[in-house]
Amino acid sequence: MSKYKIGDKVRIKSIEWYNQNKDSFGLVLSDNDTNVFCYNMQKHCGEELTVRHISENGRYVLTDNEGSGTRELYMWSWSEWMFEERK
């Protein structure tokens, strides 16, 4: 079961988090997930985005809060560990 649903707002982790956790190739890996946070995703660090779609494997497709987004934003799959915790 996914933690978020379509239409929910999520905040991507901070650029400080990215810089502290990236490897020499600019990737952030998770021990619990094969999905990676890649170098080009960093431009969205700290941004609030909206869940557009949830795949069967629980990965998220995000859009900006106006319901649109770049092609690049749509082609990435995001995992819950890439989001700031809800307060």
Q: Is residue 1 part of a domain?
A: no
* CA-closest candidate to residue 51, choices 18, 33, 35, 73: 73
- Residue 3 in any domain: the answer is no
Q: How many domains does the chain have?
A: 1
Cα-Cα-Cα-Cα dihedral sign, residues 60, 61, 62, 67: negative
- Please say whether the beta carbons of 78 and 40 come within 8 A: no
What pTM was estimated for this model as a whole? 0.87
Q: Is residue 2 part of a domain?
A: no
Q: What confidence category does residue 69 fall into, taking pLDDT thresholds of 50, 70 and 90?
A: low
Residue 4 lies in a domain: no
Is 41 part of a structural domain of the chain? Answer: yes
The domain of 43 spans: 9-82
Please report whether residue 28 resides in a domain: yes
- Structural domain contains residue 62: yes
47-58 confidence digits (pLDDT tens): 999 999 999 988
Residues 44 and 84 sit within 8 Å (Cβ to Cβ): no
Identify which has the larger pLDDT, 74 or 84.
84
Asked whether residue 87 is assigned to any structural domain, the reply reads no
Distance CA 44, CA 74 (A): 13
Closest C-alpha to 83, from 25, 56, 52, 44: 44
Q: Is the predicted pLDDT of residue 2 greater than 80, yes or no?
A: yes
